[in-house]
Chains A and B, each alone.
Chain A
C-alpha cells in the first residue's frame, strides 16, 4: 500500500523558516516524480513544486520561487520542502503527492503550516 506521511509543520513567525518532510513507502520511491501542493484554510488546492525521480528538474509556483526549495533523498525515501522567508499567505496544509501522468495519484494527509506573529 502506498503511504505518504508529511511532517515538519508548525507555527512560525513571518520571515522564518521551516523544513517539511514527506516519508514514502509501499512503492519504488526512486522511480516517482513528487509534488508539493498546499491548501489554505477553507480554500482550494494550489500546486507548489515538483521534482523528478533523480532530483533534477525542480520547478516552482511563482508565489514561492526563490523562497522554497524542493529536494529528495532516494536512499531515505523522503522528499523535502525547505521554506524560507515565510509570509502569512503561506499558511496552509501542505500535502505531498506522487506524480501520475502529470496529475497526482497518492496524497499524504498533510502537515499544517501557520505563519503568524
Chain B
C-alpha cells in the first residue's frame, strides 16, 4: 500500500501568518487515467473530517481561498495564506490513486 508521510506533525502558527504542510507518498500518485488523486482534509476538534482540496489543487465547495494545494508526483503541499482561529485542527493528506486509500499521520495546526 502507498505510505503517506506528513511534515511537520505539529505546527504552531501565529494568527494572520502563513502555514504550510508537506505530504510525501511512497510512490507516484499519478493514476493510469492521468489524474493525481491527492486530497487534503481538515478535522476540527470534536468534528468529522471535512474535504478542503481534491486532485492536488481543487478547492472543494465552500472552502475559503486562503487554502491552496500544490505538488506533483510524490510531493505535495497544503498552504494556508493567513491562518485564522477557525483553522485550528488536524490536517490529513489522503491518496485515492490506489486502493487501499491511505492517509498521512495528520498535522496538528495550533495557534501560538
Contact = CB atoms under 8 A, between A and B. Distances in A.
Interface of A: 35, 37, 44-47, 50, 59-62, 95, 97, 100-110
Contacts of B37: 101-103
A97 B51 CA distance: 10
Nearest to A110: B48
Interface in B22-75: 31, 35, 37, 39, 41, 43, 48-51, 54-55, 58, 60
Contacts of B99: 50, 59
A35 B103 CA distance: 14
A37 B103 CA distance: 10
A108 B48 CA distance: 7
Interface string B68-104: 0000000000000000000000101010110111111
* Category for how many chain B residues contact A: 20 to 34
B105 interface: yes
A35 B101 contact: yes
Contacts of A61: 100
Contacts, number: 68
B55 A101 contact: yes
B48 A103 contact: no
Name the prevailing secondary structure of the B interface residues: loop
A44 B51 contact: no
Interface of B: 1, 31, 35, 37, 39, 41, 43, 48-51, 54-55, 58, 60, 90, 92, 94, 96-97, 99-106
B48 A95 contact: yes
Given A103-B94, A104-B94, A105-B60, A47 B100 contact: yes
Contacts of B92: 44-45
Given A107-B48, A110-B48, A47 B102 contact: yes
Contact of B97 (A37, A47, A102, A109): A102
Given A100-B54, A102-B96, A44 B60 contact: no
